Chains A and B, each alone.
Chain A
């Protein structure tokens, strides 16, 4: 491990890896990335492998749209030699109350005004997209064909390999234990395997970002919480889009396995990611009701990951006022992977003092103290 660097990135998930690549692309190649486990072993590698542009706030739609535009050209951009399994089967939101229909009607209007071609559709139209859908209790749906699935391991690996080729040092199984601050400025990152002198640190530690913040005396408004998920055996193609509603999501990977999960409202704050039997029964019940054909498919594996929630379910990007050289790309509230491509661009631009592709001031951590919350309504 290098003993000094221009920038130290903490976290080897999509946000850290994508920022590492973009820093190097913009000419800052003296970058050290530190990951306490193997790469993409945290929230990135545990996610449902989905991406969408269909958010309910203009700023989040724009963020997701920019990320999407990078993602669809990623193989060429990063010169990756494996398949990233990109598939645009769409997102189908099931709306079951008049209130939901009204909210999503507004979301669709907003999305359309930003060039995102989502549609509010009837149940009959939804049945054409997913013939196996049980329409009982569904009032309407929204559909956006360009949303879909992509393999988080390969997207992250593509960034890691491209960053390494440009000279970034990526270290795994190295844990940050402390960060030294002198005169309100970052001076050194201390790990279990040595020290790195630096004046710039990016906190991209996902559910552990709160602990990293505390190392420099900054209390971040983050609440990591467990979300469970399962995978089934691979079967023939049955369902094209990601099906999502207030109480679960369910998607079939190109490989044939179904992934499904939900966030339990009773989850306490914490980074614990164990699995429960209760989840298996509950998700099976909810999904089989909407997609009865799945009843005969076998669950082969369950696991869990963390959503790192913020008070307004939107990410925090940018510097902190208290400590010079301490930057945040945290609190993605379940959308860190799908926003990963744009996160790296924005954070690299921000750290290097360049004009950012999208204005970052609204995502600054100071918004909570100022009471300027973003309040994303389209979260599941």
Chain B
């Protein structure tokens, strides 16, 4: 069991294992936002598209809630990562008033 928890990567961007996630939930980090802030799970380039569902499932399991009652994190734009240079070009020459 321990091996399985240690070898399962929940957040690939930030390299966080199932064991770490379960440990944090046990310590009282019982919402997605709290888990995210303490270990960066979901803050990497994919913005939680891989790990969010898994962490929500773990929170539901540990707290006895239905997964539909586990609050999702606020969606943070942009939808896809975008280069600063492309944005700068789009801005053109005018300064914001």
Chain A residues within 8 Å of B, Cβ to Cβ: 38-41, 45, 82, 153-154, 157, 231-234, 255, 264, 266, 275, 277-278, 280-282, 284-285, 287-289, 294-303
Binary per-residue interface labels of chain B (49-90) against chain A in the complex, 1 for a CB within 8 Å, 0 otherwise: 000000000000000000000000010111001111111101
Q: Which residues of B contact A294 (CB under 8 A)?
A: 84-85
Give the distance in Å from the alpha carbon of A287 to the alpha carbon of B83 in the complex: 12
Contact B97 A266 (CB under 8 A): yes
Question: Which residue of A is nearest B96, CB measured?
Answer: A282
Which residues of chain A are within 8 angstroms of B74 by Cβ–Cβ distance? 303
Given contacts A266-B97, A295-B83, A300-B47, contact A153 B38 (CB under 8 A): yes
Contact B96–A301 (Cβ < 8 Å): no
In Å, the complex CA distance between A41 and B92 comes to: 35
Q: Are A232 and B47 in contact (CB under 8 A)?
A: no
Distance from A322 Cβ to chain B, minimum over Cβ atoms (Å):
36
- A204–B20 alpha-carbon span in the complex (Å): 32
Cβ contact within 8 Å between B91 and A285: yes
In the complex the two chains form, is B91's CB within 8 Å of A298's CB?
no
Measured between beta carbons, the chain B residues less than 8 angstroms from A296 are 83-85
User: Are A295 and B33 in contact (CB-based, < 8 A)?
Assistant: no
Interface size class of B (residues with CB under 8 A): 20 to 34
**Across the interface, which residues of B come within 8 angstroms of A157, CB to CB?**
38
- Residues from chain B with a CB closer than 8 A to the CB of A45 are 37
Interface contact A234-B44, CB-CB below 8 Å: yes
Task: Report which B residues bind A (CB closer than 8 A).
Answer: 31, 33-34, 37-38, 40, 43-45, 47, 74, 76-78, 81-88, 90-92, 96-97
| A282 and chain B: residue at smallest CB distance | B96
Would you list the 6 A-B pairs with minimal beta carbon distance, nearest first? A295-B85, A284-B87, A281-B91, A298-B81, A285-B91, A288-B88
Flag if B38 contacts A298 (CB, 8 Å).
no
- Are B91 and A284 in contact (CB-based, < 8 A)? yes
- Which B-chain residue is minimally distant from A262 (CB atoms)? B96
Determine which of A154, A277, A281, A300 lies in contact with B44 in the assembled complex, contact meaning CB atoms within 8 Å: A300
Q: Are B45 and A288 in contact (CB under 8 A)?
A: no
Q: A302: which B residues are within 8 A, CB to CB?
A: 76-78
In the bound complex, CA of A295 to CA of B87 (Å): 9
Minimal beta-carbon separation of B38 from chain A (angstroms): 6
Interface of chain A, helix or strand or loop or mixed?
A: mixed
Q: Which residue of B lies closest to A297 (CB)?
A: B84
Taking a contact as CB atoms under 8 Å apart, the answer to whether B84 and A299 are in contact is yes
5 contacts between A and B (CB under 8 A): A38-B31, A294-B85, A296-B83, A301-B43, A303-B74
Instruction: State the CA gap A285–B85 with chains docked (Å).
Output: 8
Min distance, Cβ A239 to any Cβ of chain B, angstroms: 13
Asked if A285 contacts B97 (CB within 8 A), the reply is no
**Which single member of A153, A264, A284, A295 contacts B37 (CB below 8 Å)?**
A153
Q: Which residue of B lies closest to A301 (CB)?
A: B76
Q: Inside 8 A of A255's CB, which chain B residues have their CB? A: 40
Residues of A within 8 A of B78 (CB): 280, 299, 302
CB neighbours of A233 from chain B (8 A): 44-45, 81
- Give the distance to chain B from A106, nearest Cβ to Cβ, in Å: 28
Q: Establish whether residues A288 and B85, one from each chain, have CB atoms under 8 Å apart when the complex forms.
A: yes
Question: Would you give the shortest CB distance from B44 to chain A, in whole angstroms?
Answer: 7
19 extra interface residue pairs, beta carbon distance < 8 Å, beyond A82-B38, A234-B44: A45-B37, A233-B44, A264-B96, A275-B77, A282-B96, A284-B84, A284-B88, A285-B91, A285-B92, A288-B88, A289-B88, A296-B83, A296-B85, A297-B83, A298-B83, A299-B78, A301-B47, A302-B78, A303-B74
Contact in complex: A288, B40 (CB < 8 Å): no
Q: How far is the CA of A277 from the CA of B82 in the complex (A)?
A: 12
Cβ-neighbour of A40 out of B37, B81, B87 (below 8 A):
B37
Task: Name the A residues within 8 Å of B43 (CB-CB).
Answer: 231, 301
CB-CB under 8 A from B83, the residues of chain A are 295-299
User: Which residue of B has the minimal Cβ distance to A281?
Assistant: B91
A153–B40 alpha-carbon span in the complex (Å): 10
Q: How far is the CA of A294 from the CA of B83 in the complex (A)?
A: 9
